[in-house]
Structure 1
Amino acid sequence: MSFPSAPPSAPKRSGVSKVLLLMIVVAVLGVAAGGYGVGRIMVGYEAYKIPGAHMSPTLVPGDQLVVRRANGTEVHRGDLVAIDAGAFAQPSHEGVSVFRVVGIAGDTVACCTDRNLSVNGKPITEPYINPGDDALFGFSTKVPDGAIFVEGDNRGNSDDSRFSGPVRLSGVIGFVVATGTVITPRSLTPVTAFTDAGLPGTPYSDSTLPTLRWWILGGFVLFVAGLIGVIVSAVRSAGRRRRAAAAPPVH
């Protein structure tokens, strides 16, 4: 006695589709990329606010600042630096202050040659200082090893190295690279006044922050794309399972 042959078995389906797995990987990569960008920003940058007018007109009271931590980076003339106010040779206050570096170790900083600051005998044309500043007075000093000489751009309203002496390099917290926030920074253009005068050393320029912002943005886009892909894949998979369950059995 012969029996009818058994119906062909339905092909086995994988529990998780390849598309769903791919979308999960994309979402995870997005989280990793965004987390890398955020982590680097948190480790490498700090936020400060300008409390007074000593850096006007470059920075005005209330400006939010993005500061790249120094971490041993060499300081050059023209840099805008955030410093521990206690690092002045004769500190007059505490907290964090922002000044412009006008002299490094070994420099002779003097005032004034035709109303211009001079460094090692070279007059410096500083277009960034307060143009209405008449509070210039004569001085000459040599910056000791391991120190810098700083001044505010508003020379008539700045308690800086002219009064409190040089600043220890160990007191430099970081470089002011932008105003605004780390997500919406407005970059500050490095000055060329000192190199234009023939002095070596280009002021610090930060290229890392814009790159990290792209890491965060790219990570966000990948995460959203992956998340949408996961949802769509899951909905389609659930629909296929419902249709398969509703189909009549094959005899």
Structure 2
Amino acid sequence: MVWIVVAVLGLGATVAQVGIVFFTYRDYQVPGVAMNPTLKPGGSALVRAREGDEVHRGDVVMFDRGAFAHPDSAGLSVFRVVAVGGDVVACCTGGLLTVDGKPITENYLSQDQYAQDAAATTPYLVRLHEGQVFLLGDERGRARDSRFLGVVPVSAVTGFVVGTGRITHPAPLARTTAFTDAGLPGAPFEDTLYPALRWWLLGGAVLLFAGLIGLVVTLVRTAGRRRRAAAGPPGR
């Protein structure tokens, strides 16, 4: 009975953790180059459901593309948040993006041949109202983002990109400090759930395996004792 209880607990823990992973996270196939090099075109990204979490500058987020002020298409997309409600975002001072007059050193940007394209340094000055976010691609020379399509309501943000690769074995996405280094409050979203779930899943699997092995060993030993008892004492 002890080994049965251990196996059942392990199975329950494993099923519960798998359920949480697949209800909280999703794979996203990166369709184009707009977020290169952070997200490679054709690659996979791990997205965690937002569930009411606050959105900060530097977050790479999933959102409904149809929510742009001047949308050019519909469907899910991913971009980086560079400004939030109440910010004034502008380009470019000394070649740098500024938020509330603070220059931002964006070390996550693409440095390929499109980095100095005219589209990458298109001038703009936007003041955001509360509840709005300004979204840009990391490949500025080839991204159709808030510079051209307008702001996005934060309510349209459905998830945070927290890793690259498949949901079964993702690599963590590096969190930028570009905005906090410039003196702006609010660090990007940090996902602590997935690493914890992996350990809980491992623990559940270990319990399940130990319970099954213990149960098999116990049954084999019990069967052996019964056979010996049935055979009776050796004859004379």
TM-score category, normalised to shorter length: over 0.9
Tell me the equivalent position of 1:69: 49
1:44 to 18, 24, 29: 24
How far residue 50 of structure 1 moved from its aligned partner, in angstroms, is 0.5
Of the three residues 83, 91, 100, the one matched with 1:103 is 83
> What is the identity, as a one-letter code, of the residue corresponding to 1:225?
A
1:166 maps to which residue? 151
Q: 1:150 aligns with which of 129, 135, 150?
A: 135
For residues 101 and 166 of structure 1, what CA distance do their matches in structure 2 show?
10
Partner of 2:191 in structure 1?
A: 206
Partner of 2:218: 233
| Deviation per residue, 1:67-107 (Å, 9 max, x gap) | 11001100000000011111111111111111000000011
The one-character-per-residue Cα deviations of 1:27-77 (angstroms, maximum 9, x if unpaired) are 111111112211211221111110000001111111211111001100000
Kindly provide the amino acid, as one letter, of the partner of residue 228 in structure 1. I
Question: 1:79 and 2:59 equivalent?
Answer: yes
Q: 2:162 is matched with which residue: 177, 198, 203?
A: 177
Measured after TM superposition, the shift of residue 197 of structure 1 is: 0.5
Which one of the candidate residues 120, 135, 140 is aligned to 2:100? 120
| Paired amino acid for 1:63 | G
In the alignment, is residue 88 of structure 1 matched against residue 68 of structure 2?
yes
State the identity as a percent.
Answer: 54
- Displacement of 1:183 in angstroms is 2.5
SS in 1 for 2:121: coil
* Unmatched runs of 5 consecutive residues or more in structure 2: none
| C-alpha distance in structure 2 between counterparts of 1:69 and 1:239, whole Å | 53
Distance 1:137 1:185 in 2: 35
CA RMSD of aligned residues (A): 1.4
SS at match of 1:228: helix
Structure 1-normalised TM-score? 0.89
State the match for 1:216 in structure 2: 201
Shift of 1:248: 4.2
Q: Distance in 2 between matches of 1:157 and 1:221?
A: 48
Name the TM-score, length of structure 2 as normaliser: 0.94
Q: Which whole-Å deviations, capped at 9, do the CAs of 1:129-162 have from their partners, x for residues lacking one?
A: 0124113111101112211000000000000000
Instruction: Give the one of 116, 121, 129 matched to 1:136.
Output: 121
Secondary structure of 1:25's aligned partner: helix
Q: Which stretch of structure 1 is more off in the superposition, 159-168 or 32-41?
A: 32-41
Judge conservation of contact 2:39–2:45 (CA < 8 Å) in 1: no
* Letter aligned with residue 104 of structure 2: I
| Aligned counterparts of 1:54 and 1:188: Cα–Cα separation in 2 | 16
Larger Rg: 1
Deviation string, structure 1 residues 12-39 (Cα, Å, up to 9, x no partner): xxxxxxxxx1111111111111122112
Give the distance between the partners of 1:155 and 1:175, measured in 2 at CA: 20
- What one-letter code is carried by the residue in structure 2 that aligns with 1:60? K
